[in-house]
Structures are given as C-alpha cells and as structure tokens.
Amino acid sequence: MRTYQEDDDREEAERMGAEQWMLDCLKINPDYVHWGPHEDYMADGGESWRSAIMLKSWSEMFDLDDLNEVVHFYFSVNRDGEDCERCGGSGHNPETKQIADDWYDFAGTGRRWCDSLTQDEVDALVEKNRLFDLTRRFVEGEGWKENDPPTRPTAEQVNERSASRKGIGHDAINRWICVETRAKRLGVWGNCEHCEGHGSVFTAPAATLRLTLWLLHPRKGASRGVEIADVKQDELAVVFAFLRKAARRNAERFAKIPA
C-alpha cells in the first residue's frame, strides 16, 4: 500500500499488520505515487538505464553525485503473498468466478456472454458513465458531450456493437460492472471465503517498509527507478537526511532564476 488516507487504507493496514511508524511514512508521501519499478517505462528487467535498480536494504544505497539525482520518492508498506489457490487469485466465490471466466470464455465452454448483455447490465454501465460512444458525442476542442436529448442504449444496440467490433469495445472496467450486476441478479455475488476477497494470502510473517526513488542521470538524459526493499525503523533518520539532501540539490539547480 502506498497511501494512508481512506477507510480502505486503514482496513488494508490492519490486514497487513503494518506498524504505526510505517504508516507515518506513508503520510509524508507526495500526492502522486503511482509509478515505480515493474510499471510503465520502468518495466525493463535488464541492466540499461531504462532498467530498475533493486536493492535489498538501505545499506546498499549509493550517495548522490553529479551523475545521480533523486527527483521523486514514495514509501510503501508491503507484505509478500501468493495467489489464493481456491479462487485463482480472483477474490471471488466459485459462482462469481465462473460468471467472470465466462465473460470471454477462453476455455471454450460455449458460455461466452460479453456480446449478450441483458438490459439491466447495460443500464449499470450507463449509470457508471460507460458506453460514451452510445450516450455522448465527441465535439472537437470540447471533448465528449452528452447527447441532447439524452439517449439510453438498448441491450440489442450494445451487443450488436460488441459483436461487430465497432465503436469503443468493452474493457476490464465494463467487465467487472457487468459481472457484479449479473452475479447479484442471480443471487450468487460474493467473495472467496478463504482469502476474504483479497485474491491472495500472506506468505511473509510481517509487513515491511519499502522506499522507491526516481533517479535521474543528467548527463545521459535518462531516468530509472530504485527500490529499497526493506527499510528499518532505526534507519529512518539517515533516509530522511538523504531525501532532504536530494531536495536541496534540486532546489539549488534552479536557485539562479530571478524572482
């Protein structure tokens, strides 16, 4: 977890067994923390300047110099786990999982239904502001505008569009809206009893604090992510000093700009 603000964050912290000092570190994170090794352009697993640097502990971290500048950071609380065997990592009970698997029917059971939505499922998509190409029009320079008068697509229209592969197709968000709607209509919606809907079970005995840094190489014009897997509580003073130094170096580069 990378934030500690909402009720869901507090529930997840309790589930993970996160200690208070770890949660205090999450509170000082920058607003944007949705990046890092294994994500987007930091997904390369090689040794290039596009590749992440994965360190086990703070003792392996190197100092800043004219070749290395840290321009962003965030703390996260982690606890290693594995996919729940009973639900295959879906977090759902067997009946709900079956409905979800049948959406695309990759197993070839003949139960595919992503092109056979019912009207209540289409209505649920509209209520969640989906199906833009059927309820809105795109105006150059203004973006998507709601049709005037408003239109309410029928299941037949949505299914025909999906089957013909025309327009904006269903994505993962549409899928889960429809899965929930269908499962609730059939009275089978629910979580996996073993993992309680999380899709995974912990394998590590306790939570750990991780630090992710965004490292720039000014001379190469390149950047990469650095991940320190396990920061200890007694190392925080040194870590904070490092981050203050990074902030000061960043400010000094712009210090000559007139007010």
* 162 has a pLDDT exceeding 90: no
| Residue 44 belongs to a domain | yes
- Token pair 């982690």 in the structure block, residue: 78
Residues 70, 95, single domain; the answer is: no
Q: Look up residue 35 and give its amino acid.
A: W
| Residue 1 belongs to a domain | no
- Token pair 């950071």 in the structure block, residue: 73
pLDDT average, residue stretch 135-158 = 87
Residues 37, 96, single domain; the answer is: no
pLDDT band at residue 215 under the 50/70/90 scheme = very high
| Residue 175 belongs to a domain | yes
143 or 104: whose pLDDT is higher? 104
| pTM of the full structure | 0.67
Helix 119-127 to helix 155-164 angle, to the nearest 10 degrees? 90
pLDDT band at residue 67 under the 50/70/90 scheme = confident
Residues 212, 194, single domain; the answer is: no
Measured between its terminal Cα atoms, the distance across the chain in Å is 39
| Residue 34 belongs to a domain | yes
pLDDT, one tens digit per residue, over 21-43 is 999 999 999 999 989 888 766 76
Structural domains counted in the chain: 2
Residues 44, 139, single domain; the answer is: no
- Token pair 């939505």 in the structure block, residue: 117
Residues 104, 194, single domain; the answer is: yes
Residues 210, 179, single domain; the answer is: no
- Token pair 């944007």 in the structure block, residue: 32
Q: Which two tokens stand for residue 119?
A: 């009207």
Residues 36, 74, single domain; the answer is: yes
pLDDT average, residue stretch 117-135 = 92
pLDDT band at residue 168 under the 50/70/90 scheme = low
Residue 44: what pLDDT?
65
| Residue 259 belongs to a domain | no
- Can you give the residue range of the structural domain that contains 118? 86-199
Residues 193, 103, single domain; the answer is: yes
Residues 173, 91, single domain; the answer is: yes
| Residue 16 belongs to a domain | yes
pLDDT averaged over every residue in the chain: 91
Residues 93, 172, single domain; the answer is: yes
For residue 101, the SS3 value is helix
* 167 has a pLDDT exceeding 70: no
For residue 159, the SS3 value is helix
pLDDT, one tens digit per residue, over 237-255 is 999 999 999 999 999 989 9
pLDDT average, residue stretch 178-182 = 97
* 47 has a pLDDT exceeding 70: yes
